[in-house]
Amino acid sequence: MSREKKVKRSKATNDVTNAASTPVPNLAYDYFQMEEEEAKLRDSQDDENIFRKTCSEIQRNMKKILDMKLQRRPLADIEELRVETSLLFMTLKKINRLDKHRLKVAKDAVNEKKQKVDNFHLQLQNLTYEMMHLQKEVTKCMEFRSRDEEIDLVPVEEFRREAPAEVLKRDVTDADPHQLTLARLQWELVQRKQLSQKLRGLESMRSSYEREIEKKRECLSNIQPTLQAVLEAAQPLQADLGLPLQAHQAEHASAQYLARPLYVLYVQAAAYQQAYGDCFDVGMEGSVEESKALLETTEENQEEDSGESDQEESSTGKRHRRLTRSGAGSSSVAKCLQKHPLSVVLTLQHKGYKLQVTFTYIIPLHIVTVTANVTEPHGISSGVSASPVMCPSTILDNMFGDDNGLCSPNPANHFQLKKNGLVDFSQVVAEVGKAYRWAQRLSGLEFLQGCSSATVVASHEVGRAFVEELVQTVTTRFAARVVLYEQLLSLEKGVVPVPAQLSDHFPSKVTS
C-alpha cells in the first residue's frame, strides 16, 4: 500500500473518530442573534487587529505551502497547513459577519437620525409656511381700507361749522375720534340724500327740455323743405335785383375738395374779395368727382420697372424692350407732372379787357403753377408791336424781382425731374404752367433752401399776409399793360391820343 493511501485511510479514520467524539450542535439556537450580541460586546479595534494578524498568517501559510510544493515536501505537512489556513479563513468570515452586524447597527442608527432630521425639517417648513401665511394676513389687515376711507368727507372744521346739533353731538365726538368719524359719515349720508333729490329734479327738468328741443328740431326739419323751395323760387328775383345771395354757395361747398395749397389760396382770395368788393372774381374749375376719388385712394409712389428681360432675347425682343422702356419713361413723367383735378381761377377786368389767372397744383412736385389768359373786348388783336405787351406767357413775369416762373421754387423738384429724365423745370412749363414764387406764397407755401417738399405745409398765415399785396400788384400791372397796349395800337393806326386837358395846345385839323 502506498503512502498516499495510508494517509487517506488515516484521515478517514480520524474523521470518523472526531465525528463520533464531537457533540452535535444545537440547531434550534439563534446563532445570528448570538453573533449580533457578540458584535455589541466586542471591540471593533480588537477585531481589526485580529483581522490584520489573521491576514498576515494566511499570507505566511500560503507562502509556506508554495515553498513546500516547490520542495516536494510530504503531503501530510502540506495538509496540516491547509487545515490551519482554512481555520484562519473561518476566523476572517466571523470577523466579517461581526463587521456586517456593526455596519447594520450603524446604518439603522443613521437612518433613525435622518428620519428625525427629516421630521424636524418638515416641521420647520410647516412653521415657515404658517409664519408666511400669518405675515400675509397681517399685511392684508394693515393694508385694509375701509369703505369710509374711500369717501371724500368734508373737512372736520366745515363739519363742526355746518352740521346740525343732533348729528354733531359735540360732547361725544370731541372725546372719541371713532364717534367723530361716524358723525361725519352720517352727515355725508344726509347731504347725499339731499343732492340725490336735487339731481332727480334736475334730470326731470332736463328731460322736459330735451322733449321740447326734440319738438322744435322736428318742426325745423319740417320747415327745411319749405325754405329750400322758397330759396329756389327766389333765385330769379335775386338775379333780377342783382343780389347773388347764393351764387357761390355750391362753389364754396366744393372748395373742401381742393388741394391744401389751392384751398388756402381760394379762402384768402374769397375773403379779400368779400372785404374789398368785386375787384376780381374767384372761382373753381375741374371735376369735383375726380377730386373726391383722389382723396379716397392713396397714390402709389413706386415706379414700375418694365424693362427687365433676359439678355438672350432676339433683336425683336430687344426692340420691344426699348419701346417698353420709352413707354414707362413717358408714364413716369406723366405721374411726376400729375395735376389736381380742381384748380382756382382769378379773373380781373379793366376797360373791357379780361385777365384770367388759373392756379393748378402739381401733386408729386408739391408746387402751384400759374397759367394766364388775356381776352380783348374787340376780339383778336391785329396789332404787331402791341401784341407782346398783352402776351399771356409773360404778362405776369418779374412782378416781384427776378421771378419769371421758369425755375421751380421747391429744391426737391430738381432731383425729382432728373430722376424722370428731365433736365430742368423749364422743359415742362408749357405743359403745367409757370411756378412763380409769389404763387407759392399766395398758396401758403414757403420753400427754404435745403428744405424738402414733405416738410412744407400750406399755411393760411402765409397766404393772408401776401394776398393784398399780390392783388394790388397784379391789378396795377394789368391796368398799365392795357393802357400801353391801347397807346401802341393807336400809334400803329396813326392816331395820337390827346388828353382832354391838353387838347387846346393841338390844332383840331392839320393840312399840308
User: What is the model's pTM?
Assistant: 0.49
108-117, 176-185, 485-494, range with the lowest pLDDT:
485-494
Span 308-340, pLDDT tens digits: 444 444 444 444 434 334 444 557 777 888 888
pLDDT at residue 310, as a whole number? 47
- Backbone dihedral angles phi then psi of residue 376, each to the nearest 5 degrees: -95, 155
* Residue at grid coordinates 397744383: 361
121-135, 186-200, 328-342, 491-505, range with the lowest pLDDT:
491-505
What is the full DSSP assignment across 109-159?
A: HHHHHHHHHHHHHHHHHHHHHHHHHHHHHHHHHHH---GGGGS-PPPHHHH
| Better pLDDT: 245 or 181 | 181
| Better pLDDT: 326 or 68 | 68
- b/e map of 445-469 (b: 16 or more CB within 10 Å)? bebeeeeebeebebbeebbbebbee
Which H/E stretch holds residue 343? Answer: strand 342-350
Specify the length of the chain in residues: 512
Instruction: State the average pLDDT for the chain.
Output: 79
Number of other CB atoms surrounding residue 299 within 10 Å: 9
pLDDT at residue 361, as a whole number? 92
Span 404-450, pLDDT tens digits: 888 888 888 888 888 888 888 888 888 889 999 888 888 888 876 54
In one letter, which amino acid is 136?
K
Distant-in-sequence, close-in-space partners of 468: CB < 8 Å, separation ≥ 6? 272
pLDDT at residue 247, as a whole number? 57
**Banded model confidence at residue 344, pLDDT cuts 50, 70, 90:** very high
pLDDT at residue 213, as a whole number? 94
pLDDT at residue 203, as a whole number? 95
Span 267-319, pLDDT tens digits: 888 888 888 876 788 888 888 888 888 888 744 444 444 444 444 444 444 44
Distant-in-sequence, close-in-space partners of 282: CB < 8 Å, separation ≥ 6? 266, 269, 270, 273, 344, 345, 346, 347
Burial class (CB in 10 A: 0-12, 13-18, 19+), 414: middle
Taking CA atoms, 411 is separated from 116, 123, 447, 448, in Å, by 90, 83, 8, 8
pLDDT at residue 289, as a whole number? 86
pLDDT at residue 488, as a whole number? 83
Distant-in-sequence, close-in-space partners of 386: CB < 8 Å, separation ≥ 6? 485, 488, 489, 492
Residue 377 has pLDDT above 60, yes or no: yes
What is the full DSSP assignment across 402-469?
A: S--S-S-S-THHHHHHHHTT-S-GGGGHHHH-B--HHHHHHTT----TT--GGG----HHHHHHHHHH
Closest CA relative to residue 342, chosen from 356, 363, 365: 363
pLDDT at residue 320, as a whole number? 40
DSSP state for residue 342 in the 8-state scheme? E
| Better pLDDT: 454 or 214 | 214
Closest CA relative to residue 476, chosen from 406, 401, 396: 396
Span 28-48, pLDDT tens digits: 556 677 777 777 778 888 888
Which H/E stretch holds residue 334? Answer: helix 315-336
Residue 182 has pLDDT above 70, yes or no: yes
The domain segmentation of the chain, as residue ranges, is 31-143, 149-243, 254-297+332-496
Cβ proximity of 187 and 159 under 8 Å? yes
367-375 and 281-286 as β-strands: parallel, antiparallel, unpaired?
unpaired
In one letter, which amino acid is 307?
G
